[in-house]
Amino acid sequence: MRIGFIGLGIMGRPMAKNLIKAGHELVVDDHQEETTAELVAAGAERGGRPDEIARQVDLVITMLPNSPHVREVALGADGIVNGAHRGLVYVDMSSIAPLVSREVAGALADEGIAMLDAPVSGGEPKAVEGTLSIMVGGDRAVFDQVRDVLAAMGSSVVHVGDSGAGNTAKLANQVIVALNIAAVAEAFVLAEKAGVRPASVLEAIRGGLAGGTVLEAKAPMMLAHDFTPGFRIDLHVKDLLNALDTSHDVGVPLPLTAAVLEMMTALKAAGHGQDDHSGLLRHYETLASTRIGGSPS
């Protein structure tokens, strides 16, 4: 399939590369010229404005930071909507507010463009491996039409409901991930302060009920104090804000989510917004005046 791919950041770049490996023809664009050049070197074609890309392809995929970026790329003066043609499908794989997904999908439907919201989970390592979890909202028939394309980027591709449902599922995912990271950080700092090596705690608990994907992915980063971003605190703050906005719309209190959001916001204010979200450990170390494996931070 001939696919337009807009947004080649930490996640988008390896996702686009996996589509090329799967034999698809890509037309790509990103605001970072060097990233676009990297994909062109991998076999993609350089694109232009979103409307220009849309005119050339059967499917447009976006992987963008937040709701305003998606709205602009889809509906702006040079947006995908202005490149509408019969059969064009738009899949937004960004993590944005479900309400915005529904608004954009409605506006595009008026112009004959079918849209799916298909956010992902798994971070950069799974984006590179092509083993992301992809949760999809929108028309089931359109999902069936592009499922094989999505499967080139993920090992789990699940249709969860109507427009906006994909991003609702992603918000639930991000709540669970954030609270798990906080729990791991809290437990490790407790162990450190009590004189027990957190690395030993990890070995002791990983095979039990506390074990899981978050523990395996983030605990080693905490132990090494390596917060090289796979998923940045800045982006998790954005997702939790969207989760709280959505929860307020539907009348669901999220007290634990609100608490972790404040911790991440404090880290962002302290200049750690570009760190991996496992850097939530720093917050607990500061509170306890200690540091995993060393002197106070």
Which sequence positions are flagged as catalytic? 170
CA distance 65 to 244: 18
H helices within the chain, ranges in order?
Answer: 12-21, 33-41, 50-56, 67-75, 98-109, 123-129, 140-151, 165-193, 198-205, 213-224, 233-250, 255-267, 281-288
**E strand or H helix at 117:** strand 114-117
| The residue type at 182 | A
Residue 188, burial from CB neighbour count under 10 angstroms (0-12, 13-18, 19+)? buried
Q: 3-state SS string over 161-200?
A: ECCCHHHHHHHHHHHHHHHHHHHHHHHHHHHHHCCCCHHH
